Amino acid sequence: MTRPADDDVTLGRGLQPGDHHYRAFIDFPDRYDIGAAMQFSLLTTLGLREDHSLLDIGCGSLRAGRLFIVYLRPGRYFGLEPERWLVEEGIRRELGEEILAVKRPTFSYDRDFTLSAFGRQFDFLLAHSVFSHSAPRQVRRCLAEARAVMTPTAIFIATYWRGRESYTGEGWVYPGRVRYTAGDMAALAREQGLVCQTLDWAHPSGQTWIAITHPAHRNQVRPVTNRCQMVAIKRWLRHPGIVTLGLARRVYRRLRTGRTPAESR
């Protein structure tokens, strides 16, 4: 099924990640919708329900937030984002101002991962495509703050680019990416008294999903997989724009070689 082209300019299609458009700034605009769906599906599969509280770290232009805000009960969605204009554009273009009075989301525009700024604990935390650009000191800061605001049974879901060597720089890298070994990512979590498990959840760009919990509650992370979505994803990958970007082959290979849930080592 082809898509109408009349919305291409409005939705930023054809722009590159980092371009000044509320959808393009955070990723390829063609992945905006499917990226939101996969985040929402993963958290609800892991047990997120409407009365839980969710902290969306790096919420951007509310790609996934537009789904979570509507789904969660009023006052249960919290977003942390250093680029305030992204949140404002997401509200204006995707949600509408009226929903703020109904759902009462809360936002903080902090640049130093101050998760404690909200003054409360959370049942679920999400950091999609955040560690994939973060320096080790930033990952440590985020995890230290996360431990302080996680309820005893909280689940913190994050993604990162897995590699043979870990990034050792000091700064945020964007729109480029950084990589960490599975062992180093798990070690960063252990430094804060947390444990890290790899999830069998395919990502459109090939990032690795992990679940971070307090050690006593690691077994509450149920086995999950999104292989039932492979047919739909493969159809999406055949879109000419995606193929020309050279992403289809990498993502398809990632789907075929997905791992079963296991603790990162």
Q: What is the pLDDT of residues 153-173, one digit of tens each?
A: 999 999 999 999 999 999 999
> Is 210 domain-assigned?
yes
Residue 38's alpha-carbon distances to 169, 217, 222, 250, in angstroms, are 30, 24, 17, 18
| Count of structural domains within the chain | 1
Using the predicted structure, report yes or no on whether residue 240 has a pLDDT greater than 90: no
CATH of the domain at 81: 3.40.50.150
Please name which of 178, 141, 138, 176 lies closest in space to residue 161, comparing C-alpha atoms.
178
> Is 14 domain-assigned?
no
Look-up of token digits 């759902």: 103
Domain that holds residue 90: 29-263
Q: Any residues with CB less than 8 A from the CB of 154 and at least 6 apart, and which?
A: 121, 122, 123, 124, 125, 213, 214
Is this prediction's pTM over 0.75? Answer: yes
> Is 76 domain-assigned?
yes
Q: What is the pLDDT of residues 200-223, one digit of tens each?
A: 998 888 999 999 999 999 998 988
Please name which of 154, 171, 233 lies closest in space to residue 201, comparing C-alpha atoms.
233
State the pLDDT at residue 124: 98
A 10 A CB-CB count for 232 gives 12
> Is 52 domain-assigned?
yes
State the pLDDT at residue 81: 96
> Is 2 domain-assigned?
no
Using the predicted structure, report yes or no on whether residue 261 has a pLDDT greater than 50: no
Residue 9's alpha-carbon distances to 2, 23, 33, 62, in angstroms, are 17, 11, 16, 19
